[in-house]
Structure 1
C-alpha cells in the first residue's frame, strides 16, 4: 500500500502533479474508509492507472465499506464539464476528471480535498490538463467557485450579485487567499 510520505517516481512536471493529485484523492478516500476510491471510476480501471503511476504499489479500501451515493449534487455536471475540456483524454486523464469532480464535492479548498501542497499546484494541474477551461478563470477565482460559476453559466442561471466581480460585495469570498494546511 502506498504511504502518503512515499517519494513520487521521477516524472515530468505535468505527470508528477497528476500522480500527486490522484494519490491525494485516493488517500483521502482511504483515510475516510470510503469506496469507491474515486467516485464513478471503476476500481479495476483505477488500479490499472495507479499501477502505471506507482509501480509495485496497491491501493485498497477496506472491503465492504461504501460511501453513500450523494445524488443531487453537481458531480455529474462537473464531470461532464471536465471531460469536455480535458486536453489529453487518456485513461489517467479521465480518472483525473473523476478525481477533481469528486474532490470538488468536499468541504475544504479544492487543493486540500485533492491532497495537493497548495493552490499553486492545483492551478498548474488544471492549466496542464484543462488549458482551455483554466484560461477562462480570469482573475484567479477560487477553483470551486469558478467551476460552479461555469456550471451556472451553462445552465443559464444568473449567479452574480453585480455586473462585474470587482463591484461585488462577495469578491473576497471568490478571489481571496486560500490558507490552511494541506
Structure 2
C-alpha cells in the first residue's frame, strides 16, 4: 500500500464535512504513513495509538465518505500504551486548545508518532516543520506558547514530561551554554516521509524497501 495513494484517496473525496482543509491534510498524512508502515509489516493501529473504533469515528468526522475504505485496511488489534506514552498524552491533553474530538484524536496520534525515530513532523507525514508549528498553534496553542524558544518538538515534549515527573532532563544552566544546543534547537531539515514513499513507488520499490528508505534517510532525532 503506497502512502501517497491513501493520502490522495482521502483528500480527493468531496468535502462533505465542515472540517478545515489543513486539519484534513494532517489527519490524512498521519493515517497514510501508518497504513504504509503496516503494509511493510505490522499493525496500523500500533502506528496510530488509537483503538479501531476511535479511529473510524475520527475518519467519519474528517472523511465521512471513506470510513469503509479505512475500515477495510485496518484490522482489529490491541493497542498498548505504556507509561511514557501516557505521560506524553497527558501533557498534550493538558495544553490542548479545546476538548474537541479532533484534539482528542490528535493527542493519541501525536503521542504515538512521537515514539518514532525521525523528526516529529516527518513521523506525522507532514511536508515540513512549518506544518507542525501550524498544527500545534491551532490545536495546542498553550503548549506552543510555552515552547517560546522553538525547541524541537520531541525534545520539548519529553522535557515537559520529565518536568511534570520532577526530573531534570539535562544539567546545562541555560540552553545557550549547552554543548548539545543544536540537538535541541538545530534545523529540522529533511524530506517528507510521504514524499520518500511516493518516490520509492515511482522507482518500483516494494513496500518494505520504501519503509527502509524512510528509516535511513535521516538521522534519528529524539
TM-score with structure 2 setting the length: 0.71
- Between the aligned partners of 1:123 and 1:131, the Cα distance in structure 2 is 10
SS in 2 for 1:48: helix
RMSD over aligned Cα, in angstroms? 2.5
* Distance change >3 Å, CA 67–CA 45, structure 1 → 2: closer
Residue 86 of structure 1: CA displacement? 1.2
Matched-pair contact (CA < 8 Å) for 2:126–2:132: yes
Residue 98 of structure 1: CA displacement? 0.4
- Between the aligned partners of 1:5 and 1:15, the Cα distance in structure 2 is 17
Residue 93 of structure 1: CA displacement? 1.3
Given the alignment, which residue of 28, 37, 49 partners 2:33? 28
Deviations 1:22-54 (A, max 9, x none): 222222221122242621x33222212212211
Deviations 1:105-142 (A, max 9, x none): 11111001101111000011001111111101121110
- Between the aligned partners of 1:125 and 1:68, the Cα distance in structure 2 is 25
- Between the aligned partners of 1:179 and 1:107, the Cα distance in structure 2 is 14
Matched-pair contact (CA < 8 Å) for 1:110–1:144: yes
- Between the aligned partners of 2:151 and 2:129, the Cα distance in structure 1 is 11
Residue of structure 2 in register with 1:157 after alignment:
167
**Structure 1 residue ranges without an equivalent (≥5):** none
Q: Which aligned pairs between 1:68-87 and structure 2 lie closer than 5 A? A: 69=80, 71=82, 74-87=84-97
Is 1:4 aligned to 2:4, yes or no?
Answer: no
**Structure 2 residue ranges without an equivalent (≥5):** 193-222
Residue 3 of structure 1: CA displacement? 2.2
Q: Which piece of structure 1 moves more, 163-172 or 151-160? A: 151-160
Deviations 1:123-169 (A, max 9, x none): 11001111111101121110000101111111111122311101100
- Between the aligned partners of 2:178 and 2:58, the Cα distance in structure 1 is 43
SS in 1 for 2:144: helix
- Between the aligned partners of 1:88 and 1:122, the Cα distance in structure 2 is 18
Q: Which has the higher helix share?
A: 2
* Distance change >3 Å, CA 155–CA 62, structure 1 → 2: closer
Given the alignment, which residue of 85, 89, 104 partners 2:114? 104
Residue of structure 1 in register with 2:54 after alignment:
45
Is 1:63 aligned to 2:66, yes or no?
Answer: no
